[in-house]
Structure 1
Amino acid sequence: MTIIALLQARNEERYLPGWLDNIAPAVDAIIAIDDGSADATPDLLAAHPKVIELMRRPVGEPWRERHNHIDLIKAGRRHGADWFLCIDADERVELRFQRQLPLLVAEAEQRGVEAFALRLREMWNDDRHYRVDGVWGTKARYRLFRNDPAHTKFDPRQLHRYWMPLEIVMRLGQVGANLPFAIYHLRMIALADRQARVERYKALDPTSQFQREGYDYLVDETGIELAAIAPDADFRTRP
């Protein structure tokens, strides 16, 4: 069972070493797109032994999330992927998920599961606590899915889109499942990063076409509640 991680990245030098440490042990290979980075992102990816293909976009081109996703999936199919794991450079997975991933996909094949959702934990103020109030406590994302070359329809949205083909999305009630593991999003730790995220998305989506609630909520701390990562759900190899 071949599991390939897919990554699109632009100027992620700050997060990539930790991402590679976190994701590489869980998968058989990594395929990445460097989307016009001006930092060491492409060098870090090219140097890693599990990166079997690195596509490069020219510097200065607009961010094209849909094109990146489709190109990465097509590349994974060329390399014989059975399953895809899609985790962003500023995200980390639990170590127990990392260790159990091969068993999870093997059991999924037997159960007819084609896609798994993981809880999305937005880290806040440090790398030990995440928000749980309101919508923050309910976030989840489908980031692990089975590869089927017969699936050729993809989410038309340019932002906040499903990675997996629509042939799976339309049948999630039958073939989707939730996992009791988390993805930890590190770019929400610092206020400056949260503010920069708001400005970036407002520039990419000025009319909130791809997210009805807009983006100001990303810096709104009204009613904030935080929870600590449980010891058995950590993503760090060392404290």
Structure 2
Amino acid sequence: MAVFSYRYDAHLVPGLIENLEPIADGWIAYDDRGSGEIFSSEPARRRALLGAAFEAGADWILAMDPDERLENAVADRIGELTSRSRRVVWGFHTLEMYTPASYRIDGAWGQKMQHRLFHAYHPDRYRSPDLHGAWFPEDLGLKLRDSGLNLYHLKMIEPKRRTARRDLYNHLDPDRLHQDIGYDYLADDSGAVLETIPPGREYFPVHSDDGGLWMADVSTVPRA
């Protein structure tokens, strides 16, 4: 069962669902468009999704965002991954796209991984910091494993979104309590090295960027 929430990126949901159709048996979405905050509680949204998937009888959960796409090969491997131990969380190499067909690989950019495929559990056990937390608590005793598969993040394609993403997280976490490296690097393109998606590692559907912001614009938020 795939789960995701959407708000500023609602228009990307059809593409995500198309990407997930060969992979997941179904999906559950959290519509956050009614929130009055610029960035609603991430743990609250995740807990709601985990609970809905658990109540629906999901065996495994695949956590996604509307601006993400899994490589096509995941469809061929998903049965193998979910037939193994339930004490495992599968990670995907997370590649920040700078064009619809190429991603950044220099420095930390080529080392990112997100663990998103895990066995369903009761939402009462979920605990997470306000930002950048895992989808599962450490006390579940799950082992982190590398699937060897790619997850493509589309948000960074548009330069103004790199700047907006930096500004949003600096606004939400000004003291860098949730990420030691901080967020300025998100808009720093110096020394960028890009790599084209190799044959056989493509994602579907093909992305055509609309140049939109896809997130809150904190430049319009009055300073305290």
TM-score when scaled to structure 2? 0.85
The count of corresponding residues between Structure 1 and Structure 2 is 206
1:226 offset after TM fit, Å? 0.9
Residue equivalent to 2:113: 140
Matched residue SS, 1:15: helix
Counterpart code for 1:13: A
Higher relative contact order (CA 8 A, sep 6+): 2
Q: Percent identity?
A: 33
2:126 paired with 1:154:
yes
Kept in 1: contact 2:128–2:134 (CA 8 A): no
Residue equivalent to 1:11: 8
- Out of 91, 97, 101, the residue aligned to residue 128 of structure 1 is 101
Which structure 1 residue ranges, 5 or more long, are not aligned?
Answer: 38-57
Kept in 2: contact 1:131–1:227 (CA 8 A): yes
Matched residue SS, 2:200: helix
Residue equivalent to 2:183: 215
2:135 paired with 1:163:
yes
Distance in structure 1 (CA, Å) of the matches to 2:23 and 2:205? 13
Matched residue SS, 1:182: strand
Distance in structure 2 (CA, Å) of the matches to 1:158 and 1:121? 23
Q: Name the stretch that deviates more: 129-138 or 203-212.
A: 203-212
2:36 paired with 1:60:
yes
Kept in 2: contact 1:160–1:210 (CA 8 A): yes
- The structure whose residues are more often helix, as a share, is 1
Residue equivalent to 1:206: 174
1:194 offset after TM fit, Å? 0.8
Distance in structure 2 (CA, Å) of the matches to 1:199 and 1:14? 22
Kept in 2: contact 1:153–1:166 (CA 8 A): no
Matched residue SS, 2:179: coil
Counterpart code for 1:23: L
Counterpart code for 1:204: L
Over aligned residues, Cα RMSD in angstroms?
1.8
Kept in 2: contact 1:26–1:98 (CA 8 A): yes
Counterpart code for 2:14: P
Distance in structure 2 (CA, Å) of the matches to 1:96 and 1:202? 35
